[in-house]
Structure 1
């Protein structure tokens, strides 16, 4: 059923400017689920999202600005990984009490749109291993069906960053979590990185797997009668790879 909810709006701009000099922009719909983290609705993020939502944005610009958002998502996702203390010596002979990540990580992309997020992960994590899962909707049952998966052999011992830019109904993402669980990955060691989600899909996903953390850039107004995210940005995979 199509959603008729209206997305929230607020003034957007630097804090030093008075409200009357800042534009009103649509911002993310808040969610009550504690395991869903929405990126701060900063002027930079809203400007980047505006560019990729615009139907007149060409493929080259769509890729460039999408990659900017993906980088923000990966950086924030890494903030949710546990760390342990590590003390190092600096070149001037002093000690510094710092931290390092606890355990190994890997990325898993839900093909094909999720593959667009792999480079952003590689840019932040050198030599990171990346697995792939292909899930498509069965034309007869209209339900997601697993067609292919290739994952690191030791994935059960890693923290997994699951990659998919769009979360509509959540069917593919839910099945991807089941695949990871079947390979021995605990739910609390999975982070799902996502650009734009519907409130229906995000709530369903978060309620189904409360130990999986979701990091998303934006929760949109809802789904239309075709289960497209609205206002959305169209088919992410098509705009990134072919249009």
Structure 2
């Protein structure tokens, strides 16, 4: 798996990431969502450099201009509910993409540290021979990413796969490496060192879904 960690180079992305993490700034849910959206736009731009392009003649009012335009058939799939702002950021740049949505949540067992990923709602077009962009803002244990991909297999075999996250943890990235092929690309804002006993990224930023949309009842 090819990892594209955008935090390795200095850019305005670091400003948006720092605001997402800041305990005071992240209290503003609208700004939190917008920062995730902006990071999605940056990730989309960087990803666009790796797509397949072909030349097309464009008619202008004064003549013909030949442009190189992407020809990938994109399907953008986001994991609800935290993935909604990230989905919008990606869609702002890949506005011709088809869209898919899937729900995945942690169902805790007897111990708070023990959980399984439950996938319920899924709406998806055909993925056969298309470019799949699978987005989840927080790549913690990696189990959600793998579980949703397994559910998507019923819709066809993609030609290319791009995974997109805002923040990930090294253990989660190591986990998905075992389940995705070497030709899969991971586009990520930054990578943190470890997870705590409950499987949350440290230092991370907390629960992205709650910060974006409000607290939820635990399953």
- Deviation at 1:143? 2.1
**Cα distance in 1 between the residues matched to 2:43 and 2:60:** 30
Deviations 1:60-117 (A, max 9, x none): 3222322221211122222222222334455543653x32222321211111111222
**Corresponding pairs, count:** 207
Q: Which runs of 5+ in 1 are unaligned?
A: 1-33
Query: Does 1:38 find its partner at 2:5?
Result: yes
- Which stretches of structure 1, 4 residues or longer, exceed 6 Å deviation after superposition? none
Q: Which runs of 5+ in 2 are unaligned?
A: none
Length-normalised TM-score, structure 2:
0.84
2:51–2:72: 8 Å Cα contact kept in structure 1?
Answer: no
Per the alignment, residue 19 of structure 1 pairs with none
Query: Does 1:199 find its partner at 2:170?
Result: yes
Q: What secondary structure does 2:198 align onto?
A: coil
Query: Does 1:149 find its partner at 2:149?
Result: no
User: 1:123-202 alignment to 2 at 5 Å?
Assistant: 123-140=92-109, 142-152=115-125, 154-186=126-158, 188-202=159-173
2:39–2:86: 8 Å Cα contact kept in structure 1?
Answer: no
- Deviation at 1:36? 1.2
Per the alignment, residue 4 of structure 1 pairs with none
User: 1:1-243 alignment to 2 at 5 Å?
Assistant: 34-39=1-6, 40-57=8-25, 58-88=28-58, 91-93=61-63, 95-96=65-66, 98-140=67-109, 142-152=115-125, 154-186=126-158, 188-210=159-181, 211-242=183-214
Between structure 1 and structure 2, the one with the greater Rg is: 1
2:39–2:89: 8 Å Cα contact kept in structure 1?
Answer: no
Q: What secondary structure does 1:122 align onto?
A: helix
1:206–1:214: 8 Å Cα contact kept in structure 2?
Answer: no
Please state which structure has a larger fraction of its residues in strand.
Answer: 2
